[in-house]
Structure 1
């Protein structure tokens, strides 16, 4: 109880900048580790297997994103609800959310992994695969999909750990997996010459080890919130509380999967297999920046969730302002680097001259209007953190579906491959404008 009081008192009284730093650093490491699992695989595969292997790996994105969506549906919703309940001093409800979250995670994993394995060939063909790229994709997925059960146990419950007042421990869990993944990638790909299969095995083993560390925390009765036998039975009000908030990142992930399918078809039509691989490289760089920004934004979630529940509106808005400024600096730096040094960034993934040229041009165009995207990510996370799920969902969809898909369908027939790359910046501009309008309306009403 002393530990509980210390955590809640800190959320309620500590200086916002210091508090945000305390929670944002572990959150940033957590989201960056999430990104690095994929990015490290692509770097090792590109340098150790070849350019076409990157294209094959890129084909797996829609399937892997689809699987991740169900994990985020539970993990993000559970973390937010637990923060809010702790702010209201409703500790029993926080533990009910924790137990129901584990049951939902296992259930959704079983319901999604099996269909993806059964219809893998059909899915890869539908996603723009060819005779050259599909074999690489299958080698990776036959290992990665069954091992996906460990991903939500790792990433999502690390978020819950952070939200319940253990940011450093959450950070440690993520770092264990990231470090192990890098080491095992090098051993399996270069040491044992296992190619793309080695990357998949390395990822699964790393996820397994990290998830064991995370779950052991919630089995410890000294943790602020921990598993209790009676909390695993699903209760509809608790389930709805989790899913209603988690629906925003869930929908965003499904939309991202759909966008990847549409983009792959456009890339194959206007640029061929190498253009698909180039998109994998560009996505890696963009994801690194977005995940860094999301980490900062997620760092505000326990602060905003608790203080919103406790009625401290001034602390909520002060936190939001600081996060928007920080996030914009990050995306602004990404814009400058992609504009001034695109080839340097791309060469980390491939030495193939043709793929380097395609990727460098695509990176420069894709991040053309990336500067204000940080504020859009921050505002979306703000609405999610205070439990206004529909606004968070709408903002997530605005960038991934409402604006991006129409532009992605309209531009390429006129501009060719450049039209595919330019669809992102135009969508970003519209999404940022929408986010600021919704925030202005919310502040005006509250």
Structure 2
């Protein structure tokens, strides 16, 4: 596995570009797919279809976060193992990741199928939204286990120095979905079910590509049968680090539960559709920050394992600066062209008029999200689960959910939109303070971390 050796020798900015650009391209493509999917549903199914997708998104993310958590937890161990010259531990970790991903992915898919209606109702599928949401989610559940595998694989490819392969794993489902959406939704007139089948097939293609690349042996893993047997000490370490990602998605799902019910209470089905458009645009604005965050993790993990502590601090600093600057540029462009962007999703005049001001309010502090994403990922890469978990939960858990429960009592629907920039600002302050206080220790006294 010599490809990862350059993490400890090449210039940091070169490594960040090499790792972050493919990651950002992959995320950008996925974001564009999400936007295209919403456009087709909005124009051929209507606002009820957008609302149905918005209800399902957090549930799907929560289940797929199992793969993400296992992937990030294991890739942190793999990066540090490679940095410390322990390829056997890296092999064992990967084998355990594969076993865990499929067992848990299948278990949660079946569980959701058995209790589909009450789960969807809890997440805000009420009134006219309920039936199309059931139609959409029932089909989507078929692809969840392979989605979990694809998400897990994405982290592994970056950990062993193959960011371009990780990028393709993310691009493949987007391309497949963009091709199938117009066929299934518009040509065959399958409506919301067509959107679900397009997404499910896209998951299958993504997982197939990842499996093909692993089977080629290019990543350097040499697995024996015993590597697939669960080692409870190792799986405990995977989950202690990966739990940060799972907890983040869990809190995001809880956020959607609170948010969708509040939106329905204060604005009805249209308000949920408004946030569906806002959420898609948030994914686009956060592409640079997420790409750089993912790109920085294997660099930080490898150098920490190799005890190159100054390179760890330099990676952290450069990642935050780059992510904040790039996010700000995209954010400014979206604010300037908000009406034109929103009109792409729907020709419903009322929906456009409600979405434009809501989007501008919720986006006010979005560039600051880089501090939260990178600070949490930084401690994940070091294998420090507790600070990573606390920083991960700061925005949604400590600030946004309480604000969403409190502010609408006084400002109704506007209180929901105002909660977002307040939470972003408070989270940035907390994360910045924590990093300034603790990141110096890694150079001066690594054992104190």
TM-score with structure 1 setting the length? 0.95
Equivalent residue, structure 2, for 1:136: 132
**1:337 partnered with 2:333:** yes
The answer for the alignment partner of 2:374 in structure 1 is 378
SS at match of 1:347: helix
| CA contact 2:123–2:257 (8 Å) conserved in 1 | yes
Q: CA deviation at 1:128?
A: 2.4
Give the Cα–Cα distance (whole angstroms) in 1 for the partners of residues 239 and 370 of structure 2.
25
Determine whether 1:268 maps to 2:264: yes
User: 1: CA distance between counterparts of 2:151 and 2:30?
Assistant: 7
Q: Structure 1 pair 246/341, CA: closer, same or farther in 2 (3 Å)?
A: same
Match for residue 126 of structure 1? 122
Aligned counterparts of 1:393 and 1:196: Cα–Cα separation in 2 = 36
Per-residue deviation, 1:334? 4.1
> What stretches of structure 1 move > 6 A for 4+ residues in a row?
none
Would the aligned equivalents of 1:80 and 1:163 in 2 still touch at CA under 8 Å? Answer: yes
**Who is 2:446 aligned against?**
none
Shift in Å at residue 338 of structure 1? 4.1
- Answer yes or no: is the 8 Å Cα contact 1:395–1:435 preserved in 2: yes
Shift of 1:222: 4.5
Pairing 1:216-255 to 2, within 5 Å after superposition: 216-255=212-251
Q: CA deviation at 1:245?
A: 0.8
Contact 1:289-1:330 at 8 Å conserved across structures: no
Aligned match for 1:114, one of 110, 116, 124: 110
Q: CA deviation at 1:226?
A: 4.4
Partner in structure 2 of residue 366 of structure 1: 362
Superposition deviation, residue 47 in structure 1: 2.0
State the alpha-carbon separation in 1 of the partners of residues 246 and 286 from structure 2. 16
Match of 1:167 in 2: 163
1:285 corresponds to:
281
- How many aligned positions are there? 442
Compute the displacement of 1:32 (Å): 3.0
Q: How does 1:89-100 map to 2 (within 5 A)?
A: 89-100=85-96
Cα shift at 1:325: 1.1
Q: CA deviation at 1:173?
A: 2.8
CA positional deviation for 1:239: 0.2
Runs of 5+ unmatched residues, structure 1 = none
Q: CA deviation at 1:161?
A: 1.3
CA–CA separation in structure 2 for the residues paired with 1:364 and 1:167: 33
Aligned partner of 2:254 in structure 1 is 258
What is the aligned partner in structure 1 of residue 204 from structure 2? 208
Report Cα offsets for 1:370-417 as digits up to 9, x if no partner. 232222222222121111121111111011111111111110010111
CA-CA distance at 1:220 after TM superposition: 2.9
Partner of 1:61: 57
State the alpha-carbon separation in 2 of the partners of residues 211 and 270 from structure 1: 40
The 1:34–1:163 alpha-carbon spacing in structure 2 relative to 1, beyond 3 Å, is farther
| 2:150 corresponding residue in structure 1 | 154
The answer for the alignment partner of 1:433 in structure 2 is 429
Q: Deviations over 1:93-136 (max 9, x none)?
A: 00111010011101111221112112111122222223311121
Contact kept, 8 Å, 1:36 with 1:178, in 2: the verdict is yes
Q: Gaps (5+ residues) in structure 2?
A: 443-449
* Contact 2:372/2:428 (<8 A) preserved: yes
**Distance between the aligned counterparts of 1:93 and 1:163, measured in 2?**
14
Distance 1:34 1:243 in 2: 26
From 62, 68, 73, the equivalent of 2:69 is 73
CA contact (8 A) 2:124 2:264 kept: yes
Q: Tell me how far 1:311 sits from its aligned partner.
A: 0.9
In 1, the alpha carbon distance for the partners of 2:186 and 2:137 equals 20
**Aligned-partner Cα distance in 2 for 1:444–1:274:** 48
3-state SS of paired residue (2:439): helix
